[in-house]
């Protein structure tokens, strides 16, 4: 019998067995049954429960978590699609993103991507020359990088420009590529993000963060085989990266590679049980 027992799922995700069963009773999960009637959860079930756990960890009440997830399951009857959404807490709000839009599932309200809107407002006129101007070399690439890091929270558009200036001075500045890739990804440009992560890895081949982030970007681009290769590279560079194992297992499941999914899920369970 394939699948994972209730105890295994609870131990790996940091939930109680009662919490796991509560999502079955609520009709949010429909695990298979072993010959003696015990639940056997699939990997998509684990992804679903991990999302619930992340909301609980953000101090969202359990009843509210179940209500939101139930609404998403109802709106997206193909349960596999729910696990492909990004569902997270933003303060007291629960926010869902599908790669093209962000919304609050409880109210149905769409959320504006302020970073993208700001970028659009400050974008040059279509006929203008928008090539970044060569920055003053007096500051140096590391100084522009430090300025960008300082700007990220309060002025993301300015941070992007500062990272670009750092890269004009030093095209091999791996940290600038990683951070600029992350900002581009947050703005919805996964293709640009992936390119920056690749450039970071070319400049610093042992960068496990760049490899992991590349995997996430490639997943968003529906390039699952390349994403799996990126996650496996991240694991080779950092064998203790439980998140890389988890994501690699999810991608393997979608690719129909059950052996790879089991290997990475086992790695994830081993690492999380040791913590």
Weakest-pLDDT range from 60-74, 88-102, 211-225: 88-102
DSSP-derived secondary structure letter, 87: E
Which comes out higher in pLDDT, residue 89 or 102?
89
Q: What is the pLDDT of residues 130-182, one digit of tens each?
A: 444 444 455 689 999 999 998 888 888 889 999 999 999 999 999 999 999 99
Q: Domains plus CATH for the chain?
A: 6-114 (1.10.1660.10), 172-273 (1.25.40.10)
Task: List the structure tokens of 217.
Answer: 């970007």
183 or 116: whose pLDDT is higher?
183
Q: What is the pLDDT of residue 193?
A: 95
Tokens of 256: 């129909």
State if pTM tops 0.85.
Answer: no
Position 153 scores a pLDDT of 81
- What pLDDT does 112 receive? 54
Mean pLDDT taken over the chain: 84
Residue 192 has pLDDT above 50, yes or no: yes
CB 188 within 8 A of CB 99: yes
Q: Tell me, what's the pLDDT at 34?
A: 85
């Amino acid at each position: 019998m394939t699948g994972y027992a209730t105890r295994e799922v609870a131990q790996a995700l940091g939930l109680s067995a009662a919490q796991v069963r509560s999502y079955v009773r609520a009709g949010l999960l429909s695990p298979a049954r072993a010959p003696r009637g015990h639940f056997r959860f699939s990997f998509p079930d684990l992804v679903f429960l991990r999302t619930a756990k992340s909301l609980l960890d953000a101090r969202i009440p359990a009843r509210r978590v179940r209500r939101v997830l139930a609404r998403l399951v109802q709106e997206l009857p193909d349960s596999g699609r729910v696990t492909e959404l990004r569902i997270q807490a933003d303060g007291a709000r629960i926010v869902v993103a599908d790669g093209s839009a962000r919304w609050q599932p409880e109210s149905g309200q769409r959320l504006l991507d302020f970073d993208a809107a700001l970028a659009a407002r400050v974008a040059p006129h279509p006929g203008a020359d928008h090539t970044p101007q060569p920055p003053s070399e007096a500051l140096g690439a590391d100084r522009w990088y430090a300025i960008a890091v300082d700007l990220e929270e309060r002025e993301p558009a300015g941070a992007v420009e500062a990272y670009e200036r750092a890269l004009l001075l030093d095209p091999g500045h791996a940290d600038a590529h990683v951070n600029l890739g992350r900002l581009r990804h947050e703005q919805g440009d996964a293709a640009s993000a992936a390119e920056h992560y690749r450039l970071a890895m070319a400049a610093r081949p042992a960068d496990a963060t760049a490899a992991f982030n590349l995997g996430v970007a490639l997943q968003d681009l529906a390039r699952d085989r390349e994403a799996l290769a990126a996650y496996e590279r991240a694991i080779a560079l950092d064998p203790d990266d439980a998140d890389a194992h988890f994501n690699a297992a999810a991608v393997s499941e979608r690719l129909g590679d059950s052996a790879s999914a089991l290997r990475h899920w086992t790695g994830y369970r081993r690492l999380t049980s040791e913590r």
